């Protein structure tokens, strides 16, 4: 068995932003122009293209301090906005486009393969996620975490929910992005793997079908990164405000540490059926932080306050050890009081804004969180 983990785990975040018109709020296929603008600067190594040209992705450095993580997120959102403005666009941290759009695929052999393989499902994937990477000491520790973290992941979906609109319509969901994302064949909850060998065997079996092209298309809700020594948690919408992203990252790290301790202690993996996990994920996407949500311990409906209290109680020791406990509690209380990204979008719409105005308002929040 691995030795106890003593150092604070590092965390890195990937955010997928939407490129939009400053005049109409419509998505613009300008990622190549933005990347060209950023080339040669520090941002050139931070920004990447995505499947569709209407999106831009950035990744933070791995850091141990959540204040430093927030600074990174604010910095790179600001830089993305600066380069987008230079080519006549804005960036908006929206997990789906409120405005109608027919996305334009980015160039490249891998993206062409994906579009040919998945057809309309690939075309629909103009969705913005927030992926949280938390360091682990080994694949075995990482799989010990993956097996135990499963019932708690829907709460991160609920906290981050920021995609109520799709193709010009209110979907009735707080986080519709995951409903679109789950149309891909490898996306969503997963069965326990048992150990690292079991995980890698599962990946080989999935790739052996020919349905998927490479390890990057293993779209589990959480997975071992094939690039970094991390567990990558992939259930969150890109969050409208950086503070929500930091909350998601804080809780993700606490969950990884909590479940790693359970693995080291030899505690059994919770026996949660896959179909119940799918229902929990659906409920989280439907309700967001306004609830109801399914309690990860019982898989029965509870008010959101109860679900989040259970999450904090479950991870309390890990949160306390990193000095994040009080901040996490305060952030969750604020989220329950003010509402999340989906609530904010709908509130702007209720004030009389057209959807294009909502997008432009969200673009301002994305790059100027202090002025939100």
Q: Do 53 and 106 touch, CB atoms closer than 8 A?
A: yes
Neighbouring residues of 233: CB distance < 8 A, sequence distance ≥ 6: 131, 132, 133, 134, 149, 153, 156, 221, 222, 252, 255, 256
The whole-number pLDDT of residue 3 equals 40
CB-based burial of residue 49 (10 Å sphere; 0-12 exposed, 13-18 middle, 19+ buried)? Answer: middle
Minimal CA–CA distance to 115: which of 169, 165, 53? 53
CA 210 to chain centre: 27
Minimal CA–CA distance to 261: which of 323, 196, 321, 202? 321
The whole-number pLDDT of residue 5 equals 52
Query: What is this structure's pTM?
Result: 0.96
The whole-number pLDDT of residue 4 equals 46
The pLDDT tens digits along the chain (372 residues) read 344 455 899 999 999 999 999 999 999 999 999 999 999 887 778 999 999 999 999 999 999 999 999 999 999 999 999 999 999 999 999 999 999 999 999 999 999 999 999 999 999 999 999 999 999 999 999 999 999 999 999 999 999 999 999 999 999 999 999 999 999 999 999 999 999 999 999 999 999 999 999 999 999 999 999 999 999 999 999 999 999 999 999 999 999 999 999 999 999 999 999 999 999 999 999 999 999 999 999 999 999 999 999 999 999 999 999 999 999 999 999 999 999 999 999 999 999 999 999 999 999 999 987 755
DSSP output for 74-101: HHHHHHHHHHHHHTT-EEE--SS-SS--
Residue with tokens 């682990």: 136
The whole-number pLDDT of residue 2 equals 41
Domain 11-371: which CATH number of 3.40.50.880, 3.30.590.20, 3.40.718.10, 3.40.720.10? 3.30.590.20
The tokens for 230 are 């991390």
CA distance 258 to 315: 6
CA distance 194 to 45: 36
CB-side exposure of 144: number of CA atoms within 13 Å?
21
The whole-number pLDDT of residue 308 equals 98
Neighbouring residues of 227: CB distance < 8 A, sequence distance ≥ 6: none
Minimal CA–CA distance to 93: which of 23, 13, 156, 149? 13
CA distance 232 to 344: 27
The whole-number pLDDT of residue 336 equals 97
The whole-number pLDDT of residue 45 equals 87
The whole-number pLDDT of residue 190 equals 98
CA distance 192 to 199: 8
């Amino acid at each position: 068995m691995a030795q106890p983990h003593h150092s604070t785990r590092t965390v890195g975040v990937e955010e997928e932003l939407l490129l939009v018109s400053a005049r109409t709020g419509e998505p613009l296929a300008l990622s190549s122009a933005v990347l060209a603008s950023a080339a040669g600067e520090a941002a050139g190594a931070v920004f990447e293209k995505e499947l569709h040209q209407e999106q831009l992705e950035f990744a933070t450095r791995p850091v141990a301090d959540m204040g430093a993580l927030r600074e990174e997120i604010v910095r790179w959102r600001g830089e993305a906005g600066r380069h987008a403005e230079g080519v006549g666009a804005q960036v908006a941290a929206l997990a789906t486009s409120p405005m109608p759009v027919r996305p334009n695929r980015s160039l490249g052999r891998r993206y062409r393969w994906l579009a040919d393989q998945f057809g309309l499902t690939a075309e629909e994937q103009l969705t913005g996620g927030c992926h949280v990477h938390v360091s682990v000491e080994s694949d075995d520790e990482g799989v010990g975490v993956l097996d135990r973290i499963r019932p708690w992941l829907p709460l991160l979906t609920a906290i981050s929910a920021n995609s109520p609109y799709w193709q010009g319509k209110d979907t009735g969901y707080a986080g519709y992005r995951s409903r679109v994302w789950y149309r891909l064949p490898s996306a969503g909850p997963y069965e326990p793997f048992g150990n690292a060998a079991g995980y890698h065997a599962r990946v080989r079996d999935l790739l052996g079908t020919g349905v998927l092209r490479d390890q990057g298309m293993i779209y589990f809700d959480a997975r071992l990164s094939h690039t970094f020594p991390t567990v990558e948690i992939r259930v969150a919408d890109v969050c409208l405000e950086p503070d929500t992203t930091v909350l998601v990252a804080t809780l993700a790290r606490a969950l990884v540490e909590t479940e790693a301790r359970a693995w080291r202690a030899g505690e059994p993996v919770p026996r949660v059926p896959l179909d119940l996990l799918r229902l929990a994920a659906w409920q989280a996407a439907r309700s967001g932080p306004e609830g109801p949500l399914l309690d990860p311990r019982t898989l029965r409906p509870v008010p959101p306050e109860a679900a989040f209290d259970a999450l904090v109680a479950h991870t309390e020791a890990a949160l306390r050890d990193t000095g994040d406990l009080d901040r996490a509690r305060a952030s969750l209380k604020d989220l329950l009081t003010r509402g999340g990204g989906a609530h904010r979008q709908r509130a702007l719409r209720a004030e009389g804004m057209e959807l294009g105005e909502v997008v432009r308002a969200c673009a301002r929040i994305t790059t100027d969180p202090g002025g939100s």
